[in-house]
Structure 1
Amino acid sequence: MSADRRFEDATALAQAFAAGETEPAEAMQAALARMERLNPALNAVIHPRPERALAEAEASAQRWSRRWAGGETLDDASGVGVPFDGVPMAVKDLGCEQAGEFHHAGARFLVELGWQGSLDSHLYRLLSGSGLVSVGRTNTPEFGTTITTEPDAYGPTANPWSLDRSPGGSSGGSAAAVAAGIVPVAHGNDGGGSIRVPAAACGLVGLKPTRGRVSTAPRLGEHRGGFAVDGMLTRTVRDAARCLDIISRPAPGDPYIAPPLGPGESFAGSLAASLPPLRIAVSTGGRGRASPPVCRAVEQAADLLARLGHRIEPDTAPDGWFSAELADHTIVVRMVGMATELAGWAERLERPMTSDDVEPANWWSAELGASLPASAYVQALEALARWRRRVMSFWNADPAPGPSTPDRNGFDLLMTPVLADVTPHLGYLADPIDGARRIAELAAFVNQANLSGQPAISLPTARDADGLPLGVQLHAAHGGEGLLLAVAQQISEADGFIALGDLPQESS
């Protein structure tokens, strides 16, 4: 396979393996060649592992040879018949620990220590066990605490659509690698829009799963107060569904468990579900909360859903969805979380952490978090729990696709923007004076799903005046990933997605 040959997505590449059209070592060589050519401008993959990736791809090729020779069935956990064995992926350098691989979380002190993972996380075991092969770990802001990927430790990652724009964050390195076609899928995590924001900025599908759907074992428990969950960035809905089938397997002792699927069910199988007309609320947050281009993108997506037979109710959102008090409670949890993160590193390193170790914003956050009484943290969690119960009544209790029933009086989905404005230039959100305010304004639509624990998905449905992607977001009830994926697939099949194609930076 030539270095320029690409496939639509991971599913298409796996089907090519099954048909004998190409094989994993060739696909990996193409991915590595593309990374070598594009990564210097993107700065997406910061810990490449070409030798190990090629060796793992060769092992995958041997497994495919045995399948062909033995006539083995190609069924896998995703229920669609062809495993991802040998498909290249990338892993975000935050969480998803890999034994013997660099793991720096965007932090200078870990770079200086040359810190490496000492074990394979539950999540990485699931990914590698499915046959996915990592080309390396991707750039992330320090500890993933912002929505742009510009860490002091490794420098900024560029958006493949325009190298002077942010790719979003904190999974910006992963999003850039997928959007540029280096890999078809990449790991990310989302504690405040960190999968959905880069998906919107880079023209990808970004699914934030339900709280507890993806295990944080063995190191983490209530990750970031329960706000954060791991997931994947993909080019297509079908890849998003198949990836979720791979990674959604709980581990003993998990603090949260998402509602399980029924016997024989899979997220990939939900794509073929026959959808009844759904009741979909649409909100851009009221006057001035989202820019005109973003509002138009939401309106266009809502119009498409209406043409597909769904009932659209504009200017509708759960009571309290945009409550100003959420920020006060959220910041307490996040600051205590930052203090806890640094205290954990101090314990592991057997020395105190200092302001020289981390970026100023995170040090300030940790200092304030350490000064708060335990009661403030508990009170914030209780307030958020009350808010969560308040907003949950907005959704139908049963989020599964299926025939409408007389007692389904709530909404099936909520559509909002992902970002409140177009993708910003690099430096805009990292500004030491105005950056925090700008982030708060831009991220007005993403934190709610982290606080509620609900699933949400970013879909690449529009472009701005400069031709850059704009994402819209769908939220479902707790456990409703199957419905999100089914509707996303319906939008995709109606040509509702923008095309990735060849990105502008490739011709430069």
Structure 2
Amino acid sequence: MPLSPRVHAFRDDILGDLDATGVAELVATKQIKPREATEAALARVETVAALDAVEHLDADRALDAADRDASGVFGGVPTFVKDNVDVAGWPTGNGSEAYTPRLARTDSDFVRMWSAQGLTYLGKSRLPEFGFSATTEFMTRPPVRNPWNPAYSSGASSGGSAALVAAGAVPIAHANDGGGSIRIPAAACGLVGLKPTRGRITPDHLDETMPVKVVTQGVVTRSVRDTARFFAAAEQTYRNPLLPPVRLVEGPGSARLRVGVLYDSVTGPSDRDTHAATADTAELLAALGHRVEEIPLPITQQFADDFALYWGFLAWYLSTTGRRALGVDFDPARTDNLTQGLAAAFRKGFRRFPSALYRLRRTQRSYRALFTTYDVVLSPVLAHTTPKLGYLSPTLDFDRLFARLYAYVGFTPLNNVAGGPAISLPLGRTRSGLPLASHFSADHGDERTLLELAYELEAARPFARIQDA
């Protein structure tokens, strides 16, 4: 397997190879001070500046915050917030070149919840315009680069967060997911990315206004235990009474699971590396004693077309309401080719929107029916391996770009529409050495099963580390 020109900041400093739990334990036991962790992380951010993953950096504010009492499960751990939620005093740009962002007056609902976990915010990470794409690329600005090989995409829409965590700048970062935006960059950058059940995590205001609530908040991490601790701590702040509690998951479960396997999506077949990686994960599960069998697709081409129309609706809505929501200088003509093309496609097909909404809202039934027979469903995260930068660039004409995205993002949107949880785990590698992930879905409220399985797989096949030769 050829080595790639990796870019990372792992070094012999106080952060070392530690995950967020490890850093928090050093702070809690007073072996290091929060300010020392913050200073080390800021130095690491500078080391990986070539990845262009940071939208806004505020070192002075971070150092000032680090001098205060560090309480919470991740007390004193440095991190980044994705630039599509508000942090008071910082601009929220949403990855767009169509307006000049204003300073946020208050923290978003999610940020208030996450702050209770004790993290130190260094700044905001980059995303593609309004999170619509599966790669963090722009019309005129430099793209976010994958730390495993800077010629490749870091995924999206949480591509900046994923690049920073994978490169070792910070051990955990905020992400959110409206069609795969936690799981796709986690897959591209070799991280753990769990999209929770709809309603599990404190929603932001905009998440609640959508006709189909596809967006959920979360994190990207380098270890299963960091993800597990995030969800357990989140329940201490917000607990949805309609869902069973996750509680703290600290290791594998004992139950042997019924696992259904999907290799291809409704938008087309998976490529050779992706199919082989999924088959390899299925074999590993069987070797661990789980019952594994291939299953037919639970959705039809109609679902993909309906989701594409809904995708267009979101672009159209943002384009038409942007001046009111984002500022009077918002100019839809300055949005990128993807946003403009999606909005135009919606205007062309808007008469089909009511029936598409009806079908999308009913998707939850067929999704949940899967889990009367299976405990989890294994599939690829994406239909093919991580592409090079430029393949999904918004500078492409819309028809070509949309066709590529439509084929690429064939698996993850089902969980957003149906509301079920899913996790991306970096269990494989491509022939060129890039991470290649497996995707596991479960019934509503069953994040615990996903985390227990993730612990078992992490132990059976430790995740590749970017800092290793």
- State TM-score, norm by structure 1: 0.84
Compare CA radii of gyration and give the structure with the larger one.
1
| Counterpart check, 1:261 vs 2:244 | yes
User: How far off its partner does 1:19 sit?
Assistant: 2.6
Instruction: Pick closer, same or farther for the CA change 1:364–1:185 going to 2, 3 Å.
Output: same
Specify whether residues 502 and 352 from structure 1 end up closer, same or farther in structure 2 by C-alpha distance, changes over 3 A only.
closer
Please state if 1:420 is matched with 2:383.
yes
* Aligned-partner Cα distance in 2 for 1:339–1:279: 41
Write the mapping of 1:70-469 to structure 2, written as runs, cut at 5 A: 83-95=73-85, 97-110=86-99, 113-152=100-139, 154-223=141-210, 225-248=212-235, 259-262=242-245, 266=247, 268=248, 270-272=249-251, 274-285=253-264, 289-313=269-293, 315-320=294-299, 323-348=300-325, 351=328, 354-370=331-347, 376-396=352-372, 410-430=373-393, 432-433=396-397, 434-469=400-435
**Cα shift readout 1:364-417 (whole Å, capped 9, x = no counterpart):** 3224435665x6433212112333312321103xxxxxxxxxxxxx10000000
Contact (CA 8 Å) 2:207, 2:215: kept in 1 or not?
no
Distance change in 2, residues 1:220/1:303 (3 Å) = closer
- Judge conservation of contact 1:123–1:247 (CA < 8 Å) in 2: no
Note the residue ranges of structure 1 that are not aligned, 5 or more in a row.
65-75, 77-82, 397-409
**CA separation in 1, counterparts of 2:93 and 2:12?**
33
Which of 50, 56, 60 is the equivalent residue of 2:65? 56
Greater RCO, CA 8 A, separation 6+:
2
Give the residue type in structure 1 aligned to 2:91.
Answer: F
Q: Is contact 1:86-1:133 (8 Å) kept?
A: yes
Q: 1:421 Cα shift?
A: 1.5
Corresponding residue for residue 490 of structure 1: 456
1:43 alignment partner, one of 43, 46, 52 = 52
Q: 1:480 to 1:38 in 2, by over 3 A?
A: same
Residue identity opposite 2:396 in structure 1: P
In structure 2, C-alpha distance between the alignment counterparts of 1:201 and 1:296, rounded to whole Å: 17
1:55-82 residue CA offsets vs partner (Å, 9 max, x unmatched): 111113xx57xxxxxxxxxxx6xxxxxx
Instruction: Give, in angstroms, the shift of residue 216 of structure 1.
Output: 2.5
User: For residues 366 and 250 of structure 1, do their structure 2 counterparts lie closer, same or farther at Cα, with a shift above 3 Å needed?
Assistant: farther
Q: What is the TM-score with the length of structure 2 in the denominator? A: 0.90
In 2: Cα distance, 1:350 partner to 1:142 partner: 16
Task: Call closer, same or farther: CA 1:303–1:2 in 2, change over 3 Å.
Answer: closer
- TM-fit CA distance, 1:457: 0.3
Task: For 1:42, give the aligned amino acid.
Answer: L
C-alpha contact 1:295 1:417 (8 A) present in aligned 2: yes
Residues 3, 33 of structure 1: 8 Å contact kept? no
1:31 corresponds to which residue?
41
Letter in 2 for 1:498: F
Displacement of 1:126: 1.2
Displacement after TM superposition at 1:236 (Å): 0.5
Secondary structure at the counterpart of residue 439 of structure 2: strand
CA distance in 2, matches of 1:451, 1:349: 26
Which whole-Å CA distance do the structure 2 matches of 1:4 and 1:383 have between them?
A: 52
The 3-state SS of whatever aligns with 1:109 is coil
CA distance in 1, matches of 2:229, 2:44: 24
Closer/same/farther in 2, CA of residues 143 and 249 from structure 1, 3 Å limit: farther
Residues 335 and 286 from structure 1, CA distance in 2 versus in 1: closer, same or farther, beyond 3 angstroms? closer
Q: Please state whether the residue corresponding to 2:67 is helix, strand or coil.
A: helix
Counterparts of 2:187 and 2:260 in 1: how far apart (Å)? 20
Deviation at 1:220, TM superposition (A): 4.2
Cα–Cα, structure 1 residues 425 and 32, in superposed 2: closer, same or farther, change >3 Å? same
Within the alignment, does 1:16 sit opposite 2:26 as a pair? yes
Q: Distance in 2 between matches of 1:154 and 1:248?
A: 38
1:309-340 CA-to-partner distances (Å, cap 9, x unmatched) read 11111x214532xx111122112222222222
Q: CA separation in 1, counterparts of 2:326 and 2:35?
A: 39
Deviation at 1:119, TM superposition (A): 1.4
Helix, strand or coil for the counterpart of 1:379?
helix
5+ residue gaps in structure 2?
1-10
- Quick one: structure 1 residues 128 and 286, their matched pair in 2 at CA, closer, same or farther if it must change by over 3 Å? closer
Q: Check the 8 A contact 1:459/1:497 in 2, yes or no.
A: no
Which whole-Å CA distance do the structure 1 matches of 2:385 and 2:404 have between them? 12
Task: Measure the CA separation in 1 of the matches of 2:149 and 2:48.
Answer: 13
- Following the alignment from structure 1 to structure 2, what is the Cα–Cα distance between the partners of residues 370 and 352? 23
Identity %: 35
Q: Contact 2:270–2:384 at 8 Å: present in 1 too?
A: yes
Shift of 1:248: 4.9
Following superposition, the deviation at residue 15 of structure 1 comes to: 1.2
Provide closer, same or farther for how the CA distance between residues 470 and 325 of structure 1 changes in structure 2, counting only shifts above 3 A.
same
User: How far is the alpha carbon of 1:180 from its aligned partner?
Assistant: 0.3
Residue number in structure 2 paired with 1:72: none
The aligned residue for residue 6 of structure 2 is none
Q: 1:351 to 1:19 in 2, by over 3 A?
A: closer
Q: Which residue of 2 aligns with 1:73?
A: none
Distance 1:190 1:292 in 2: 27
Q: Any conservation in 1 of the 2:126–2:160 contact (CA below 8 Å)?
A: yes
Residues 436 and 477 of structure 1, relative CA distance in 2, 3 Å threshold = same
Task: Provide the rounded CA distance (Å) in 1 between the counterparts of 2:296 and 2:120.
Answer: 41
Once residues 184 and 226 of structure 1 are traced to their aligned partners in structure 2, the CA distance between those partners, rounded to angstroms, is 29
Count of aligned positions: 455
| Structure 2 residue matching 1:165: 3-state secondary structure | strand
Cα separation, 2, equivalents of 1:232 and 1:4 = 23
Tell me by how many angstroms 1:2 deviates. 6.2
The residue type paired with residue 81 of structure 2 is V
User: Would the alpha carbon gap of residues 349 and 177 (structure 1) be closer, same or farther in structure 2, given more than 3 Å must change?
Assistant: closer
- State the Cα deviation string for residues 240-264 of structure 1 (Å, max 9, x = none): 1111233357879xxxx584335xx
The one-letter code sitting in structure 2 at the alignment partner of 1:426 is L
Does the residue aligned with 1:242 lie in a helix, a strand or coil? helix
Question: How far is 1:283 from its partner?
Answer: 1.3
Separation (CA, whole Å) in 1 of partners of 2:242 and 2:297? 22
Q: Secondary structure at the match of 2:440?
A: strand
Measure, in 2, the Cα distance between the counterparts of 1:94 and 1:352.
18
